[in-house]
Amino acid sequence: MKIYSRTFLALLLALFAGGGADAQGNRCTRETLPVKGTALTVSYCVAAENSAAAGHDLPVQVTESYSTGRGSFTQQNTLQFISGETASRVIEDVALNRVGLEGTLHLTLVYRGGLVQVESALLTPGAITIK
């Protein structure tokens, strides 16, 4: 009987540990954008969301990660969306020199369903549509 109790307890602990990681992973988005023939992986993980009245600024704390085969960096940022909207957007500029690329990526980020995603991306100079 004791062996079954230990097995059950181990299984229960594994399920709870996995559930926590899965819940955090559900607040992250990740995609790869083609930038001048180089794959740029971008990831946004929502760390915290403050509350705000509908129509007011909604500060959303995110961990942003950008990487290519040439380099990577991660930064913390607070994005200001609009509370009470089904989808709210912000513009963000990302200099690409830290990932071994030239130019600036102008991103339109959308906050929908508790996630931050890249809605569109434009590379300058040259106004090249990436997404």
The structure's pTM equals 0.78
Q: What is the DSSP string of 99-117?
A: GT--SEEEEEEEEETTEEE
Q: Which pLDDT tens digit goes with each residue over 51-66?
A: 888 888 999 999 999 9
pLDDT at 16: 37
Burial (CB count within 10 angstroms: exposed 0-12, middle 13-18, buried 19+), residue 5: exposed
Q: Which pLDDT tens digit goes with each residue over 16-34?
A: 333 333 344 579 999 999 9
Q: Give 13's DSSP letter.
A: H
pLDDT at 50: 83
pLDDT at 54: 84
Task: Give the residue extent of every domain in the chain.
Answer: 28-129
Between 73 and 8, name the one with better pLDDT: 73
Mean pLDDT of 70-98: 96
pLDDT at 24: 46
Phi, psi (degrees; rounded to nearest 5) at 96: -95, 5
